[in-house]
Amino acid sequence: MGVLSTEEQAVVDTVRDFVDREVKPAVNEVEHSGEYPEKWIEQMKELGIYGLAVPEPWGEAPVSMPCYALVTAELSRGWMSLAGAMGGHTVVAKLLVAFGTREQQDRYLPRMATGELRATMALTEPGGGSDLQAMSTHASLQDDHYVVNGSKTWISNARRSGLIALLCKTDPAAEPAHRGISVLLVEHGPGLTVSKDLPKLGYKGVESCELIFDDMRVPTDAVLGGTPGKGFGQMMKGLETGRIQVASRALGVADAALADALRYAQDRESFGKPIWQHQSVGNYLADMATKITAARQLILHAAEKYETGQRCDMEAGMAKLFTSEIAMEVALNAVRIHGGYGYSTEFDVERYFRDAPLMIVGEGTNEIQRNVIAAQLVKRGGLDRS
């Protein structure tokens, strides 16, 4: 592989073993039951997965972005929901490390590293979608508190996350609009209501809810970094992590779909030979494997650029765009290769087909990714060849 140290490769291998031993044999039953995967989440805490982005002195074993991406892909190969259960948490941890005051870091990061405290981010609004600057959730300053009103939707882990990184307007009159946006570090309390779980096609087990803020009082020292008006830039940096993470989730789904299709194509015979020897099926397998390999390299390219501290919104957007689209294609082709069994809930491939679309629309739709990529191409004067 070349990108990971021996220690980091051992982390990825440990997660792979956990997935193969604990998750794969039981995931179908757990997913269809709709229950929360409490036992697996506890095991993920014990493995240190919630602390992968938390450095000393608050945590023990932070890993590079390439390692984090491959851990995410392994979890998702077992069940995409498990990767989703730590995605927003990692973004919030990185936001705290990069921008938090020392007091904020000391308050939250030690408990986040162990998974005792889990975190999520709240960006999307019911009427706003990907247009974050048009948000209506606002926090007005009253004495030593902000009073928060508004709502956010499609918030993963909303009920079980004790900390919410809330993107909201603290100065609605600011020009340009992004200068009036802040990230508030909000904990559950009076004035915050979590809706019932939103029903979903896939991405089961982990709740997605609406958050309603009704005159919720939040202390002024909850502003990430201590200075209001910097939230939009902070969250855009956080979304680089988020988009690499979503791309890695898509990679895991595609990996699992290819593995199942490859195994089935060797076991199943028609017209006197294994079906992979029929050219149409063999071509599917060849294309699936080629696109997955390309997607993995795109993700690692974005992750390595992130690791050097360079801006990588274009690279992360490319990785997310490409990998989510090919995950959908690979999942569909895995269904084709399985024939009628691909439509059966007794086989895993129908789950991949239900989980894959989330990565196309999540963390900024793919239409938005193309806007980001195009704008960066113009700004940078083309592709960077270095």
Instruction: Please check whether residue 60 is in contact with residue 48, taking contact to mean a CB–CB distance below 8 angstroms.
Output: yes
Phi/psi zone of residue 90: left (φ > 0), alpha (ψ -120 to 50 degrees), beta? Answer: alpha
Structure tokens at 297: 């390299």
> Is 363 among the residues known to form the active site?
yes
Please tell me the distance from the alpha carbon of residue 80 to that of residue 83, in angstroms, as a whole number: 5
Q: Which of 253, 260, 240 is nearest to 308 (CA)?
A: 240
Tokens 């988009």 locate to: 243
Please tell me the distance from the alpha carbon of residue 212 to that of residue 248, in angstroms, as a whole number: 30
Cite the beta strand spans of 33-127 per DSSP E.
119-122
Bridge-based pairing state of the strands 269-270 and 273-274: antiparallel
Concatenate the DSSP letters of all residues of 279-336 into one string.
HHHHHHHHHHHHHHHHHHHHHHHHHHHHHTT---HHHHHHHHHHHHHHHHHHHHHHHH
Instruction: Please check whether residue 100 is in contact with residue 135, taking contact to mean a CB–CB distance below 8 angstroms.
Output: no
Query: Which of 8, 125, 315, 363 does the annotation list as catalytic?
Result: 363
Scored b (16 or more CB within 10 A) or e, 2-18 reads ebbeeebeebbeebbeb
The count of other CB atoms within 10 Å of the CB of residue 268 is 15
Q: Active-site residue numbers?
A: 363
